[in-house]
Structure 1
């Protein structure tokens, strides 16, 4: 491009220099790795010409002060319920190509900067109408960004709901059928010890798959910014601890479980099912990683009248210091030195979800582990 002889309004400049603008857009989009690594030039350019056309048309359209005020806040006119704007289509395609929302928005920042730079480079001096054009231009870009972000997040929400629906219904139903069928066979009796063992393994596998499904549902809720739902009620937490210990005794008859509670009021306002999930996870970990010759102890402390403290303790190989710093992150799991073959049956979500549940109650979950005193997971919950 060379310096223009006559003064050009911004809309006219955009139409005359689309090739240069698109080239800069494509060069920038190609830097947004890894999403853009295998995309063609045509895919990278996407709907930029349509977006440029929208901006140019908008600059040349009549606009009331109220319309200008609304657009300055990203509230421009919509395309109706049955049509999508170029910005919305761009958002859908970028999402499908693996761009995150920050990368998509950064494309608009680059587009804004490119157009302003090229336009000012080709101006000897600004005319009285240029400030108005720049203001209108920024409003049009803001509207396109708003449409893209809204469509991107709406698509993500729809995908989340579909994902949760498939997990929560389409997979849970067949798993429940498998589990109930195995239980019915067990109650009806089997003809051989081998058949009884197979049926038991089917029931155990279905239960494990159901637990993985529950963990994934909880993880999905947290990943999409939705808190794990709680149904709080007045609960005797000491009795809840004893109930979970009793359940684990049935599954692990060779292990000892001890529940110790301070004297006093052991009731709190919590979700018993969710808190039971946390206790079952912590006590189950103690079974898996703890010393088989020593008991697993759950101690309930009432030293603070406003706080209930639960400590799940076991002796055995301590958790390494470096792992203690990451153990509550998703997809992290300890090394099962006793049952390495079982290592692949756990997703490493249990402690992460346990921490989410405790935090949803307004509490905190921590760990202390060393060779001398063993491993203790501590839960601090507000009583009310």
Structure 2
């Protein structure tokens, strides 16, 4: 057995290189991934196989044997990663593993390994790893789909609530100017809810690496941002300050998505802010290419070690039970997705003294008008 593990160790990089070359030829989705993303956990799975061979001499096992369970962790991560990579399917993951298996067998053949039990053990390891990867991939796709649908369903309540409030206010004695403003707000809210229902239907067909369907158009974003502010003033009792020095916010945006982004940030600011302290919504131009939108509130700060985790679209199951992360809701995953779909990012500063501020940077020029489905980004650097 030591001879076999030495062969695999000596050929470790060669196995990975040959696998990569063949995967790029035969697996279509692999052509869209960069080299680091393509490798992800494959070298670790090979290390697991070597470790299993190295630790045990008894190799009359089957795929359910607890001795090959070590390979599960990296296999699960592989599947989760493929769910975040564009165009991968369960069939293409199986193809990856088939190529991986064949490359190792060729190394065994080149080194005249004739022990049938070793080939059997290798097959058990590959089958187990493939099974866990596809299981994780499938669960992750379902989780992404449920999160997108859940986010949309949750956010639809905001415009519908605003529209209902507007209708109720029209029954009250009020000035003609106020009636006109409330009618405008109500119509805007209904239109937004209809757009979101369309997005809800689009989310049912989510595939690996995909997020929401966004509809970009060339426009001035100022009116939409101002509408978010005016609706928030009507709905919430907290004082909200709106700062925007330049009303010329032209660019190519999905206005509905930007409004949802701001509404989620304002909702969290109201929920976690101090009622006696104002909330500030600020919009400014950074330069000819980028806009900056921020929402600030005073209140209990977000712990520094949690500030990146709350943006993660797919969290590990052990993390989803953390109430302090769950309590921020699924809206922040939408904030991150919308920012990145507009060629930008979201950042967070939070402390006891200065309060909590979410800052979103978006590009005015990156997108072309039309419908585009967003890509999921699982990086931690937002």
User: The TM-score by the shorter chain falls in which range?
Assistant: 0.3 to 0.5
TM-score using structure 1 length: 0.46
Scaled by the length of structure 2, the TM-score of the pair is: 0.47
Which structure carries more relative contact order (alpha carbon 8 Å, separation 6+)? 2
